[in-house]
A and B are shown apart, each in its own frame.
Chain A
Amino acid sequence: MSAALNQTSDWHPQLATALDTLPGNNIGWLAQRRDKALNQFLELGFPTRKTEAWKYVATHSIAQITPVLSQNAIIDSAQIAQWRLDGCDELVFVDGIYHQSLSSVTDNAGLEIKNLAELLKNSPDETKALLSQLDHKAHDAFDALNQALLRDGAVITIADDALIERPLHCLFVSTNTSKAITPINNWIFAGKNSQCSIVETYIGDDESNSLTSARTNIKLAANSELNHYRCQRESKQAYHLAELQVELARDSRYNAYPIALGGAIARVNVQITLAGQNAECTVNGLYLTKDKQVSDHHIKMHHAVPHCNSNQLFKGVMDGASRAIFNGLILVDKDAQKTQADLSNRNLLLSKLADINTKPELEIYADDVKCSHGATIGQLDEKSIFYLQSRGISREQAEHLLTYAFINDVVNRIKLASLRQKIASLIIGQLPDSEFISELV
């Protein structure tokens, strides 16, 4: 290792300065909260390969980031036109800061949409109460860093009994080219019996090279339903460290679609807790890597009470000299009888240099449960290639087609049509023979 490993303390002076510039630093509880997190960051130190959860990621390259905050860049609407989603309300954040002029929110009864910075400014006490509903202890230095730099993000509250038909799209755009840090903190509160679809999209300019530190906290009240899409397509120089924490009350349904396409190093750490009986969670995930990208998914599905279901499918395609890490844990508490939990991780390696480390895990303390987990790693099926060739398709085209068909299985599960089409064309566009493939699927 040639680069000297940074210590978190090396960042201290610059971070302390950064903290002073954050909005609401005159609010007592907030300043305290940030200070506490900063201290945790200093104490925990950067994770190394000796840290099990970071075993396969070279964090020293992330530590080369400059510990300053990204500033709000000026962009015009045309720059993000291709990322907008038809038929959605839209919140746009540029380098982590809310842009009202780029956003468009219709008056949606039952849906309260705010941004954190504004909330902190206008009603700090209410914000404190709101945030305390979903508090947690930082589990590593990067998570602590995110908490210390709490700045802006979407705060979405869905009223009890509200059926929100128009999906909400939160678009986060990275433009920063000076290796700065972009903190983002989102909260979603789904009220009793409510239904809603929310999309988070993280995209980056080709030149952007910042560290996006994004945390989304979600709380589903009884019998609510949330479709939550999370699409990440940052630039190939950018770092993306994401935390997703979800808590499900009784009879609630949470459907997650984590899709990771970009970033030099992109990590998604998901913690889902089925905390009320008869809660149901499905996760359909996808990660694609090429060149020297690293994509890391850590999922913890925690069954804390009886009679809950969870079903997870993650598919990955690795090309070039890229690497993916998948770690999926199903944890079933002693009291969580009648749990049904399934996890499947399927990987396709397209090159000899590409790499996947997959580890599905079961940790079960109850004795009356149905759980399954499995992982596969493979290459394209020669029989399928030959079959397509025998029908007149060239070998190369057959390979590209089968690669997309493998991915398409997950893409097709995206219920929101405008997003499904966008993701499909984005992925097909990255593959050779894109025109040919789009005609066959």
Chain B
Amino acid sequence: MLSIKDLHVSIDGKPILKGINLEVKAGEVHAIMGPNGSGKSTLSQLLAGRSGYTVDSGSVTYKDQDLLELAPEERSWEGVFLAFQYPVEIPGVNNTYLLRAGLNAIRKHRGEAEINAVDFLKLVREKAKLVELDESFLSRSVNQGFSGGEKKRNEIFQMAVLEPALAILDETDSGLDIDALRIVAEGINKLRNEDRAFILITHYQRLLDYIEPDFVHVLADGQIQRSGDKSLALELEREGYSWLDSDTGSETDAA
């Protein structure tokens, strides 16, 4: 589904990603871990289409298309979804209406009819339950006045409604207490299926206690230093990132 080959990316002339290689197939869950400043967020934002990055070399192929050539909204229509590390508050724009507009844009792209209001309401109610999001959040402005945990749950709720093919979760577990983490993780687990792939960007092994990944990658200094199965995460938990080159973990997070 997603194929990243020797990807080099810089911001304002400063190299951030220095040769990333990653293959993600439908149905797989990939966890990408790594210290601050390793380029995790850059990778996730780049895949979703955020501007401001320069791709110096390499390629990203998604469903046989050059992903980097697509505008962010086109990526969304093609099934790419990013759960933001810092979801944006948008006062004055209704949470549910935004979602309906997004869903309809995706359906239109696929040549499907727009969803009618009754079916949509049924859908959002069902999906809100999935992440135990109170219905009152549906009628509020996007993320406005939401707590940190509510924002993250809202991201997963949006993902559940939009049903992406490739979901990239950028530190969705950060800053959550254990109950919120469990709710978010369960929501994600219920959305796992053989057609959908996940990239979980995380700083903490804890998330992987709840979501079992197929692959774990360690990103440091702009490169994937090691890949393995879930046992790699446990190894990291025990030993930290200290085995990595000592000067790689200290850069500030450029993303």
Using a CB–CB cutoff of 8 Å, the interface residues on chain A facing chain B are 381-384, 386-395, 401-402, 404-406, 408-409, 412, 436, 439-441
Report if B158 contacts A (CB, 8 A): yes
Contact assessment for A389 and B71 in the assembled complex, using a CB-CB cutoff below 8 Å: yes
Given contacts A387-B90, A392-B102, 11 further A-B contacts (CB under 8 A): A387-B84, A390-B48, A390-B75, A390-B82, A392-B105, A402-B90, A402-B93, A405-B91, A440-B93, A440-B98, A440-B101
- B192-233 contact mask (Cβ, 8 Å, vs A): 1 or 0: 000000000000000000000000000000000000000000
Residue in A386, A388, A412 whose CB lies within 8 Å of B50 = A386
Residue with the greatest number of chain A CB neighbours at <10 A, chosen from B49, B73, B82 = B73
Show the binding face of B for A, using Cβ within 8 Å: 48-51, 71-73, 75-77, 81-82, 84, 87-88, 90-94, 97-103, 105-106, 142, 158, 162
Q: Are B92 and A390 in contact (CB under 8 A)?
A: no
Also in contact, A391 and B102, with CB within 8 A (given A386-B72, A439-B97): yes
In the complex, the answer to whether A441 meets B92 with C-beta atoms within 8 Å is yes
- Does B88 lie within 8 Å of A394, measured CB to CB? no
A384 pairs with B49, CB closer than 8 A: no
Of B75, B77, B93, which contacts A401 at CB under 8 A? B93
Report the 4 A-B pairs with minimum CB-CB distance, sorted nearest first: A405-B92, A392-B102, A389-B72, A392-B105
Residues of A within 8 A of B92 (CB): 404-406, 408-409, 412, 441
Q: Flag if B90 contacts A390 (CB, 8 Å).
A: no
Contact A391 B76 (CB under 8 A): yes
Task: Assess whether A383 is in contact with B101, with CB atoms less than 8 Å apart.
Answer: no
Complex Cα–Cα for A441 and B162 (A): 20
A390 pairs with B81, CB closer than 8 A: yes
Structural contact, A441 and B93, CB atoms closer than 8 A: yes
Contact A384 to B103, CB < 8 A, known contacts A390-B48, A441-B94: no
Q: A409-B92, A440-B94 are contacts. A392–B101 as well, Cβ < 8 Å?
A: yes
CA distance A383 to B73 in the complex (A): 14
Instruction: Pick the contact of A395: B73, B103, B106, B162 (CB < 8 A).
Output: B73
Cα A421 to Cα B29 with chains together (Å): 48
Q: Is the CB of A389 within 8 A of B49?
A: yes
Q: A404-B92, A441-B92 are in contact. Are A390 and B98 (CB under 8 A)?
A: no
Q: Do B93 and A391 touch (CB < 8 A)?
A: no
Q: What are 20 A-B contacts defined by CB distance under 8 Å?
A: A384-B88, A387-B88, A387-B90, A388-B93, A389-B71, A390-B81, A391-B98, A392-B73, A392-B76, A392-B101, A392-B103, A393-B73, A393-B102, A395-B71, A402-B93, A404-B92, A405-B91, A408-B92, A412-B92, A441-B94
Q: A390-B81, A395-B71, A408-B92 are in contact. Are A441 and B97 (CB under 8 A)?
A: yes
Among residues of A, the one whose C-beta sits closest to the C-beta of B103 is A392
A436 and B94 CA atoms in complex are apart in Å by 13
Interface centre among A405, A409, A412 (most CB of B within 10 A): A405
Specify which chain A residues have a CB less than 8 angstroms from the CB of B106 in the assembled complex. 392
A386 in complex: contacting residue of B51, B142, B158, CB < 8 Å: B51
Q: Which residues of B contact A405 (CB under 8 A)?
A: 90-93
CB-nearest residue of chain A to B108: A392
Task: Judge whether A388 and B71 touch: CB under 8 Å.
Answer: no
Residue of B nearest to A386 (CB): B50
Check A393–B49 contact: CB distance below 8 A: no
Measured CA separation A418–B115 after assembly (Å): 30
Is the beta-carbon distance between A436 and B88 smaller than 8 angstroms?
A: no
CA–CA, A106 to B231, complex, Å?
81
Q: Which residues of B contact A439 (CB under 8 A)?
A: 97, 100-101
Inter-chain contact A390/B101, CB cutoff 8 Å? no
> Is A387 a contact of B87 with CB atoms below 8 Å?
yes
Alpha-carbon distance between A391 and B100 when the two chains are bound, in angstroms: 10
Once the chains are docked, how many angstroms separate the CA of A440 from the CA of B91? 12
Expressed in whole angstroms, the Cα–Cα distance for A27 and B236 within the complex equals 95
B contact residues around A381 at 8 Å (CB): 88
- A393 CB contacts on chain B under 8 angstroms: 73, 98, 101-102, 105
CB-CB under 8 A from A383, the residues of chain B are: 88
B143 to A, closest residue via Cβ: A387
Residue of B nearest to A440 (CB): B97
Among B49, B84, B98, B105: residue with most chain A CB under 10 A: B98
CA distance A395 to B48 in the complex (A): 14
